[in-house]
Amino acid sequence: MGEVYRALDTRLQRVVAVKILPSNLSEDLRPRSDSTTKHAPSPP
């Protein structure tokens, strides 16, 4: 189905998962929105 790797998001300074799909499964997928828009802390 795919491979999952652990990586460090250097902007958010946290561990994230990166999933790599085979080309036959990823042809119709659109990229997800940037995680910083959903998970970044709000300014004080």
Rounded-to-integer distance, Cα 3 and Cα 20, Å? 5
**Domain spans in the chain, listed from the N-terminal domain onward:** 1-25
- Residue 28 has a pLDDT of 61
Long-range CB pairs of 25-29 (<8 Å, 24+ gap) are 25/1
- Residue 1 has a pLDDT of 76
Q: Are 6 and 32 in contact (CB under 8 A)?
A: no
- Residue 24 has a pLDDT of 78
Indicate the pTM of the whole model.
Answer: 0.48
- Predicted confidence (pLDDT) per residue in 1-44, tens digit: 789 999 999 999 999 999 888 877 666 656 655 555 555 555 55
Rounded-to-integer distance, Cα 3 and Cα 43, Å? 35
- Residue 27 has a pLDDT of 66
* Residues facing residue 13 across a β-bridge: none
- Residue 21 has a pLDDT of 82
Strand 14-20 relative to strand 3-9, pairing: antiparallel
